[in-house]
């Protein structure tokens, strides 16, 4: 009998044992696509879960926040009461219109006072009325060690909004010490209007004049 070899030859076995490049690339691409889809799904689920937690927390905080109180309705006073309050309101308005903020003037002056200036005296008087007062509303005297310091103080005082007419009154020098005096006006409010005096009516013999 003739012997027959039923086993595949070596070339056939080699071709069957080595995977094709196209099939290998397709398999890798499929695995990567599945991994990307699964990872994206997990990421979106995590985002949705975090957003839901934030929403629930906000709802709890909103429920725990008390409602603001209702704004009370302002009832205007009766005409008789308003008429009685009007003179007081006018008096307060007139007083505030002529008020001078001395604390503000002193604070502004302390901010611009140079460090090399020493004051001996500072006097402020109430203006008599009008938009500006007399130049003697503020007077100060002091000393320093150069005329540059005096000029610096004058320039800075001119920047104070509540002062006007800053003037150097006099200076003197003794042993390299410069003494000076400065006067300025304090801006006041307009003077209140003069009260209206009703005309006087006299009756003589049944006739009015």
Q: What is the pLDDT of residues 110-131, one digit of tens each?
A: 999 999 999 999 988 875 554 4
Bridge partner list, 179? 143, 172
First to last CA, the chain: 172
Instruction: Judge residue 186's burial from the number of C-beta atoms within 10 Å of its C-beta, 0-12 exposed, 13-18 middle, 19 or more buried.
Output: buried
Identify the pLDDT of residue 151.
Answer: 93
Residue 134: pLDDT over 60: no
Residue 141's pLDDT is 94
- Domain segments of the chain as ranges: 25-61, 100-186
pLDDT tens-digit series, residues 50-76: 888 888 888 888 888 887 787 777 777
pTM above 0.85, yes or no: no
User: Which fold does the domain 100-186 belong to in CATH?
Assistant: Gyrase A; domain 2 (3.30.1360)
pLDDT of residue 52: 86
In the chain, which ranges are continuous DSSP H helix?
A: 10-17, 21-64, 79-97, 102-112, 147-157
Neighbours of 164 (CB within 10 A): 17
SS3 5: coil
């Amino acid at each position: 009998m003739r012997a027959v070899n039923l086993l595949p030859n070596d070339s056939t076995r080699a071709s069957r044992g080595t995977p094709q490049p196209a099939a290998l690339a397709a398999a890798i691409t499929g695995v990567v696509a599945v991994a990307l889809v699964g990872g994206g799904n997990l990421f979106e689920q995590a985002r949705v879960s975090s957003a839901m937690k934030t929403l629930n927390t906000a709802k709890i905080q909103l429920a725990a926040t008390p409602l603001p109180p209702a704004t009370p309705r302002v009832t205007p006073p009766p005409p008789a009461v308003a008429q009685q309050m009007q003179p007081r309101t006018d008096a307060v308005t007139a007083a505030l219109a002529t008020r001078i903020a001395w604390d503000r003037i002193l604070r502004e002056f302390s901010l611009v006072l140079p460090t090399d200036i020493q004051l001996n005296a500072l006097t402020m008087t109430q203006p008599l009325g009008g938009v500006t007062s007399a130049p003697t509303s503020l007077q100060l005297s002091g000393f320093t060690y150069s005329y540059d310091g005096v000029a610096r103080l004058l320039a800075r005082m001119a920047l104070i909004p509540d002062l006007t007419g800053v003037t150097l009154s006099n200076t003197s020098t003794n042993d390299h010490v410069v003494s000076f005096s400065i006067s300025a006006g304090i801006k006041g409010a307009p003077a209140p209007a003069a009260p209206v005096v009703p005309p006087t009516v006299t009756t003589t013999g049944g006739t009015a004049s």
